[in-house]
């Protein structure tokens, strides 16, 4: 499992596995968000199986699938709301973590400077510099 922290309470990751849920719970995560559409995964990694594994580990699970063209301010606001309501740390995952980082970044535009957003995502391994205009600079 490749957890990449964007803040103290929010991280992103490439695809996780059902057996990772117990480790996430032990590491203080309380919420898992899947940004990967089921069509991209085999049945054992689709949202029903992942939800079952998350809930068995005591985690809250949210299915918010997106593709790059469907990432919008509304999706970012919904994900930000899920993260804000988490009672502990939240982890969002997709195929590589890029979509999750993009959603987080769009949600932080206006709250954080473009430089800070890009610095955090860069330190997590995601180059979102082409998105700079969306962040206000």
Topology of domain 4-127, CATH: 3.90.190
Domain residue spans of the chain: 4-127
Contact between residue 31 and residue 60 where contact means Cβ atoms under 8 Å apart: yes
Q: What is the C-alpha R_g of the chain?
A: 14
What residue spans of the chain are helical by DSSP H? 21-26, 47-56, 73-85, 98-108, 114-123
Q: What is the pLDDT of residues 48-100, one digit of tens each?
A: 999 999 999 999 999 999 998 899 989 999 999 999 999 999 999 999 999 99
SS3 128: coil
Q: What is the mean pLDDT of residues 14-24?
A: 97
Q: What is the pLDDT of residues 21-36, one digit of tens each?
A: 999 999 999 999 999 9
């Amino acid at each position: 499992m490749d957890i990449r922290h964007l803040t103290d309470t929010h991280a992103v990751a490439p695809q996780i596995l059902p057996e990772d849920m117990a480790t996430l719970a032990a590491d203080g995560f309380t919420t898992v968000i899947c940004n990967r559409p089921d069509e991209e995964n085999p049945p054992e990694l689709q949202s029903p199986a992942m939800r079952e594994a998350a809930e068995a580990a005591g985690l809250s699970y949210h299915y918010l699938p997106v593709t790059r063209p469907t990432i919008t301010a509304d999706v970012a606001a919904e994900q930000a709301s899920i993260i804000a309501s988490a009672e502990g740390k939240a982890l969002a995952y997709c195929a590589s973590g890029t979509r999750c980082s993009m959603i987080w970044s769009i949600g932080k535009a206006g709250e954080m400077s473009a430089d800070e957003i890009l610095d955090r995502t860069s330190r997590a391994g995601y180059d979102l510099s082409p998105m700079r205009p969306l962040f206000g600079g």
